[in-house]
Amino acid sequence: MQFNNLSYLKDKRKRLRNNATTAEATLWLFLKGSQLGGRKFRRQHSIENYILDFYCPSERINIELDGEGHYTEEGQEKDLIRDQFLNSLGIKVIRIENRDVFENLDNVLEMIKNNFQPLPPPPSGTAVGKK
């Protein structure tokens, strides 16, 4: 049974990618192309009915950027339910305030990297860095 990127959410995912917030667009500049620790991130990836801001499948990490709507009682309740669901699938949720992307970007990137598992060493007998 498929639960990633369900077809009925395709248009919404595309709309979200094309209308990213300034914080999302800024963070994406540092996540795209496996720039951060060699990990691949996907933007606006859906899992069941939830659309995740940034998802790293190899690390099973979801990065959520939170703006004003997340700080209401209703927003916090929805986030809690969503986070618990994703956690039940083994997906770690990291919530970052939008303003931190602008005011503390280096710290944000370091905090994300600190949640990565160490990369496995290259296979023995493999020349590293030689052409």
Task: Provide the residue ranges of all domains of the chain, joining segments of one domain with +.
Answer: 7-113
% of the chain at pLDDT higher than 90: 60
pTM of the model: 0.80
Query: What mean pLDDT is predicted for residues 97-109?
Result: 96
Structure confidence at residue 1 (pLDDT):
43
Q: What is the pLDDT of residues 29-79, one digit of tens each?
A: 999 999 999 999 999 998 888 989 999 999 999 999 987 766 678 888 999
Structure tokens that stand for 116 in this block: 């990565």
CB atoms within 10 A of CB 70: 16
CATH, domain 7-113, list 3.40.960.10, 3.40.718.10, 3.20.20.70, 3.40.630.10 = 3.40.960.10
CB atoms within 10 A of CB 91: 19
Query: What mean pLDDT is predicted for residues 100-113?
Result: 97
